Amino acid sequence: MSQTSLQSRTRGINRMVLSVLAVLCILAPTSHPLHGLLNWDIKYVYVASFVGLLAICFIGEREQTHSYRPLAIALLYFAFGILGTIISGAYHQIMIGIVGSASVIAVYYSRRYIYSEQAVRALNIITFCILAGAWIALIYALLGGGAIFAAMNLETDKEMPFYLTSFTNSVQDGLIRPSGIFDEPGALAMFSIIVAIINDIYGKNSSKTQLILLANLVTLSVMAFIALVIFWTSAFFVRGKRFVAFAVAFLATIALLAIPTARDIFSETVLSRFRMEDGKFAGDNRSNQLENFFYYLDWNIIKKGYLTSYGRFDLDMSSNPFSILFASGIFVWIPYFLICCMLLFLCFKNRKIGWAIPLTLLILILQRPYIYSLYWSFMLSVALMPVLFAETLSARRRMQN
C-alpha cells in the first residue's frame, strides 16, 4: 500500500470516528432516561458535549471558509440575554443566552463532522434502531407485556417505565406511546423529524427519509402526522416520482385496516387523538397552554418573565410559541421570534430550497421552542443551521466540505 493510500485511509478512519463522536455529543443531552439511570446532571452533560464538539473541531481538519451569519445568531442570543438580565436584574436570561450561543458555536465549528456522510449514516442507524425498538415495545405491550424496570426523570421526578425495547411516559389500558430513549413520545417524534430533515438535505437515499417519517407514527404524535403529510405533499407536487412511496404506504395501510383487530387499535390510538372534545382536538395539549399564557400575562411577565417575577410555576407552559416569553421575558424571546420569521420567509423565498423542510421545522419549533434548552439546543441548532444559512442544496453541501 502506497504512502498516499495509507494517509487517505487513515484520514477516512479519523473522519468516521470523529463524525460518530460528534453525533454522540449532540445526542447525549437529549436522553432523560439515560441521565436518570446514570444519575447524570444535565448541566454537566451539556458542558461535556460542548467541550467534546470543540475538541473534535480542534483535533480534526480545520474549515477553510467561515460565514458570519451563524455567529451573528449566536451573538443575537447572547446580546438579548444580556439585555434581558439588565432589565430583569436576574442572571437567568443571560445564562440561557449563553446556552443558545454556545450550542450554535459548537455546531457551527464542528459542522464538517456533524454533517458528514458518516454522521448522517450514523444518525440514520441510531434512529432506525430507536424506532424499531419503539414498534417492538408497542407490540409487546399490546400482547400483554409489562414494564421491566423504570428510570427516573431527574427534571420532573417521575418514573419512565421501560417496555422491553423502549421507554414511555404514556400508558393507558395496556396501550403505550413509545418514547424510545427519550422522556416522552413527542420528544421521539421531534428527534425523528430532525433526523429526517438532515437526511433529506444531506442523504442520498430519499426512501430513508420517507421510512423514518412513516415509522415515526408509532409515537402517535400529532406533529409526526403533520410532518409526514407535509413531506408527502411536497413529494407529490415537487418530486413526483417519489409519490410512489405514498401510494405503496397508503395501499398497505388500507390492507392492514381491513383486519378488524388492527382497525380497532387504529381507532383507539390514532383517531382518538383527532376527535373534537370541547372544541379542541383530543390530542391537542397546546391550547390550554395558550389559554393559560393569556390569562396570566402581565407587564412583569412581558418584561422579566414569570420565573424572575414570581418564581417557579406548576403550569405546563413548556411547549407553545410563547413558552420562552412566559418563562423568561420578551427580550430572550425576540431571537426565537426572528428565527420563526426567517423560516416562514424561506417557505416562499427560493424554489431550490423547497417549502417542506422550512415549514416542517417552523411548525416543530412553534410547538417545541427549545433553542435555549440544555437538552435540545444542540439538536435544534443542527437542524436550523443548514436551513437558515444555505439557500440551495449545493450550498448546504458545501457547509460540510
Asked whether the CA dihedral 88, 92, 93, 94 is positive or negative, the reply is positive
The model's confidence at residue 167, banded by pLDDT at 50, 70 and 90, is very high
Q: What is the pLDDT of residue 398?
A: 47
Sheet strand arrangement including 175-180:
149-153, 158-163, 166-172, 175-180
Helix, strand, coil % over all residues of the chain, rounded to 5: 70, 5, 25
Q: Is the pLDDT of residue 392 over 50?
A: no
The model's confidence at residue 36, banded by pLDDT at 50, 70 and 90, is very high
CA separation, residue 265 to residues 80, 272, 380 (Å) = 48, 10, 33
The residues, any chain, with a CB within 8 Å of residue 140's CB and separated by 6 or more, are 163, 164, 165
Q: What is the mean pLDDT of residues 163-191?
A: 91
CA separation, residue 22 to residues 15, 17, 334 (Å) = 10, 9, 29
Chain segment 67-116, per-residue pLDDT in tens: 778 888 999 999 999 999 999 888 999 999 999 999 999 999 898 899 98
Burial class (CB in 10 A: 0-12, 13-18, 19+), 322: buried
Asked whether the CA dihedral 301, 303, 304, 305 is positive or negative, the reply is positive
The residues, any chain, with a CB within 8 Å of residue 327's CB and separated by 6 or more, are 305, 306, 307, 317
Q: What is the pLDDT of residue 100?
A: 95
Q: Of the ranges 77-81, 175-179, 215-219, 306-310, which is most confident?
A: 77-81
Chain segment 244-297, per-residue pLDDT in tens: 555 665 566 555 555 555 545 555 555 555 555 555 554 556 677 888 888 888
Least confidently predicted of 63-67, 206-210, 254-258, 359-363? 254-258
CA separation, residue 53 to residues 88, 113, 394 (Å) = 32, 9, 25
Q: How far is CA 290 from the centre of its chain?
A: 21
Of residues 266, 177, 263, the one with CA closest to residue 223: 177
The model's confidence at residue 400, banded by pLDDT at 50, 70 and 90, is very low
The three three-digit cell numbers of residue 73, written as one number: 445568531
Bigger pLDDT: 223 vs 310: 223
The residue ranges of every structural domain in the chain are 68-108+270-401
- Rounded CA gap, 253 and 267, in Å? 13
Q: What is the mean pLDDT of residues 331-355?
A: 86
Q: Of the ranges 5-14, 274-283, 383-392, which is most confident?
A: 383-392
Q: What is the pLDDT of residue 105?
A: 93
The residues, any chain, with a CB within 8 Å of residue 130's CB and separated by 6 or more, are 166, 180, 181, 188, 191, 192
Q: What is the pLDDT of residue 265?
A: 57
The three three-digit cell numbers of residue 312, written as one number: 417557579
- Rounded CA gap, 87 and 83, in Å? 6
DSSP state of 311: -
Q: What is the mean pLDDT of residues 296-312?
A: 84
Q: What is the pLDDT of residue 32?
A: 94
Bigger pLDDT: 69 vs 334: 334
Q: What is the pLDDT of residue 231?
A: 87
Q: What is the mean pLDDT of residues 185-200?
A: 94
Chain segment 129-141, per-residue pLDDT in tens: 999 999 999 999 9
Q: What is the pLDDT of residue 393?
A: 42
Bigger pLDDT: 395 vs 90: 90
Q: What is the pLDDT of residue 264?
A: 56
Q: What is the mean pLDDT of residues 45-73?
A: 83
Contact 345/113 with Cβ under 8 angstroms? no
166 bridge partner residues:
163
Of residues 380, 373, 340, the one with CA closest to residue 358: 340
**Percent of all residues in the chain with a pLDDT value above 90, rounded to a whole number:** 47
- Rounded CA gap, 238 and 393, in Å? 15
Q: What is the pLDDT of residue 378?
A: 95
